[in-house]
């Protein structure tokens, strides 16, 4: 009877079972993108930065103006989970502030 036992070498890759996410749709998006619909992400829009002394922060009131390191009209940075992913411009729509994404930041290969 032939030997049917298989030995695995620890340096060889092993297949990992993943769920079937479906094939790509017409726009290149997976059909099962709904699986991610309940994933919570922290999104932060950074208008600019400044350094202030604690003494000056304590003097702030509702009418205070804080000068930032960016000029009006400069693109704002968009962060997702602490990582900068895009730049955009601030708009006012129906008396609400919003951001239009104008550039997606390419990931840095590392």
The answer to whether residue 48 sits within a structural domain is: yes
**What is the rounded distance in angstroms from the CA atom of residue 26 to the CA atom of residue 55?**
57
The answer to whether residue 35 sits within a structural domain is: no
The answer to whether residue 69 sits within a structural domain is: yes
Q: What is the signed CA dihedral for 81, 86, 89, 94, rounded to 10 degrees?
A: -50
CATH number of the domain bearing residue 85: 2.30.330.10
The answer to whether residue 72 sits within a structural domain is: yes
**What is the rounded distance in angstroms from the CA atom of residue 17 to the CA atom of residue 109?**
27
The answer to whether residue 95 sits within a structural domain is: yes
The answer to whether residue 9 sits within a structural domain is: no
| 100 neighbors 93 (Cβ within 8 angstroms) | no
The answer to whether residue 14 sits within a structural domain is: no
Query: What's the pLDDT score for residue 86?
Result: 93
**What is the rounded distance in angstroms from the CA atom of residue 12 to the CA atom of residue 73?**
54
Query: What's the pLDDT score for residue 93?
Result: 87
Q: What is the pTM of this model?
A: 0.56
47's CB contacts (< 8 A; 6+ apart) are 68, 70, 76, 90
Per-residue pLDDT of the chain (110 residues; tens, 9 = 90+): 555 555 545 566 666 666 665 555 555 555 677 787 888 999 999 888 999 999 999 999 999 999 989 888 889 999 999 999 999 998 888 988 899 999 999 877 65
Q: How many domains does the chain have?
A: 1
Domain that holds residue 46: 41-104
What 3-state DSSP class applies to 38? Answer: coil
The answer to whether residue 20 sits within a structural domain is: no
């Amino acid at each position: 009877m032939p030997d049917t036992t298989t030995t695995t070498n620890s340096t060889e890759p092993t297949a990992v079972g993943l769920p079937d996410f479906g094939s790509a749709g017409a726009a290149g998006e997976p059909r099962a993108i709904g699986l991610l619909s309940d994933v919570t992400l922290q999104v932060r829009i950074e208008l600019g930065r400044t350094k202030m002394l604690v003494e000056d922060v304590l003097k702030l009131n509702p009418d205070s103006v804080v000068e930032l390191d960016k000029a009006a009209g400069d693109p704002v940075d968009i962060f997702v989970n602490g990582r900068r992913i895009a730049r955009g411009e601030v708009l006012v729509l129906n008396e609400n502030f919003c951001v239009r994404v104008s550039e997606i930041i390419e990931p840095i290969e590392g």
